[in-house]
Amino acid sequence: MDLATRATPPPATTIHRSGRLRTGGAELSWHTAQATTPVVFVHGSFDDHTSWDGVVPLLPPGVTAVRYDRRGHSGSSAPGRTVIHEHVDDLVAVINELTGGSAHVVGHSYGALVALMAAARHPEPVRSVLVHEPPVFPLLAGDPVGEPMREAARAHVGTVAAYIEAGRAEDAVALFAEKVAFGEHWRELFAGPQRAMLAANARTFLEQFRDPDHYALDLAALAAGPVPITFTVGTDGPPAVRRITGILAERLPAATVHTIVGAGHAPHLSHPAEFAAALTRHLDRTRRA
């Protein structure tokens, strides 16, 4: 899928807004297509709000899609070192300031971690969560199948960080995309301008890598909390994150798991219609609950 080709825009009756939100010393660049049911989208590593371009136009009428660049990505600033707890606080600020204090949250990869941490720490403003393959690698520790996957991913990510420190952002993106996240066909998901965007955001990935708390997910709080959770998982993605999703589903038995056939770690890019359909079913189910 060529991300430089934008999907058909929503109907003209949708109200489009954008702006900047000051929070925690940062300025977040945000964009909304406003209707009634607010859904906040949280992108993954290296990425920005444009990764949701193929999904938002496919959502049903009545959905307010709120997208923003996480601090340190594209249009958003990042004063000093960035840690995941700041990303969580930013998400809560976006919900409070742009949706009236309550919203459904969708997250991809690292953004999925942010969404789940927000649901665990601040359940009041989070109506529900749909996340795709959160990379909670510590869950693979000691697992006879998952441990080798964890070690391989750790080695690759260490090299990615070293490339970024050496000023080799494009090499870092290529290694991360091919070996950790998207597979050998990753360039089919990202056109040239999008690859440049990924490289420009590489420094924030380095801050994530250095953050000792970036995997500090409180599963007990999620299991005991009121927030409905749906995990989406692709059949063709990295084996490590597929296994992590399975472990999360075991630890959170109330959660729903939806498999997207043929998709990998980025169904919102490769299979936007299927991802939008999964989100629509999730919203319908949580509204009925």
25-34 per-position pLDDT tens digit: 788 887 776 5
Which two structure tokens, joined as six digits, stand for 62?
A: 């009545």
pLDDT for 12 beyond 90: no
User: Which is it for strands 63-68 and 26-34: parallel, antiparallel or unpaired?
Assistant: antiparallel
Residue 229 has pLDDT above 80, yes or no: yes
Q: What tokens does 158 get?
A: 């260490």
* The CATH number, out of the four listed (3.40.50.170, 3.40.50.1820, 3.30.300.30, 3.30.565.10), of the domain defined by the range 15-140+214-288: 3.40.50.1820
Element (H, E) at 34: strand 26-34
Residue 13 has pLDDT above 60, yes or no: no
pTM: 0.88
Contact (Cβ atoms closer than 8 angstroms) between residue 140 and residue 244? yes
The residue whose two tokens read 């189910």 is: 285
Q: What is the mean pLDDT of the chain?
A: 90
pLDDT above 90: percentage of residues in the chain: 76
